[in-house]
A = this chain, B = another copy of it.
């Protein structure tokens, strides 16, 4: 089978690609070809795999040519992040709304020309939810909570969920939307996203670096580890339409955890001297944004697909440490515990 991952050079996309290549199959079919599109090339290990073909450029520019190819499956992860879209409205429209539309229309054109009906998993987001003064805001959002996005990012994700459902209803593709929780611990440098500190307060202390936590210890948030996020995307791909039960968008499992619990877990895994590197320095701007986010999420429909959240945040930290140890920069990334 031939697969496409948009955003295949990104953190989640590259991890998904690695997992798929290691499995060798998806939904019972052998993966012969894996096309990765992104604005930057994928990591070298992916480029070295003979099944991988990398294409560099925006999805919007690449989409029209895709209608000349038969894809059996698509993971559509390409996206500008929340913070970028708030700063640049046009970028959000172009990268998250127009690019998805262009991808869907390329797949539709191919189906109309007699090609296979591709299965498509769209990476939506918990950002489709938000507080809504008109109705009670549960704080903890469920599959059937009425969405009220508070950002352009969340707005476009929600619009694309509904667009994909309509293309699916019409038989142009076989789509489903998985709402990702905040993926923690992200490697690399702080990226300035408002949610960045959820990774930062773990990643920086493990590297022996002081980290500022801009919110109170009581703030709670729905999180997922990178590996569980990838497992969720694959499980949603492999689910039958019957298993999805009529609605095509669903929450992925979340570990709902308070900052205080995260730090307790950090101490448990890495010791009190590492935890001590986290300083509470309240940032009113970030605290205000976070106050509009869900304090947690449930995922009853994902549970029926066999997907469970991480049991405890310490497991998420241990996953990050194991990932670092397997990477070339282990010494630097884990300086705080070595």
A133-B247, A148-B247 are known contacts. Are A162 and B166 too (CB-CB below 8 A)? no
Please state if B144 and A135 are interface contacts (CB–CB under 8 Å): yes
A155-B166, A165-B155, A301-B134 are known contacts. Are A146 and B144 too (CB-CB below 8 A)? yes
Residues from chain B with Cβ under 8 Å of A155 in the complex: 162-163, 165-166
Interface string of A119-137 (1 = CB under 8 A from B): 0000000000000111100
Instruction: Say how far A183's CB is from chain B's closest CB, in angstroms.
Output: 24
Interface residue A245 (Cβ < 8 Å from any Cβ of B): yes
Residues from chain B with Cβ under 8 Å of A89 in the complex: 170
Residues from chain B with Cβ under 8 Å of A162 in the complex: 147, 149, 155, 158-159
Interface of A, secondary structure class, is loop
Chain B, residue nearest A86 (CB): B170
Instruction: Say how far A287's CB is from chain B's closest CB, in angstroms.
Output: 19
- CA A184 – CA B158 in complex, angstroms? 32
Interface residue A319 (Cβ < 8 Å from any Cβ of B): no
Please state if A170 and B152 are interface contacts (CB–CB under 8 Å): yes
Please state if A143 and B149 are interface contacts (CB–CB under 8 Å): no
Interface residue A192 (Cβ < 8 Å from any Cβ of B): no
Q: List 28 A-B contacts (CB under 8 A).
A: A89-B170, A132-B246, A132-B247, A133-B245, A133-B246, A133-B247, A134-B143, A134-B144, A134-B244, A134-B245, A134-B247, A135-B143, A135-B144, A135-B247, A145-B146, A146-B146, A147-B162, A149-B162, A149-B166, A150-B169, A152-B166, A152-B170, A155-B163, A155-B165, A155-B166, A158-B162, A159-B159, A159-B162
A-B contact sample (9 more), CB < 8 A, given A134-B246, A155-B162: A132-B246, A133-B247, A134-B144, A134-B244, A134-B245, A148-B247, A150-B169, A152-B170, A155-B163
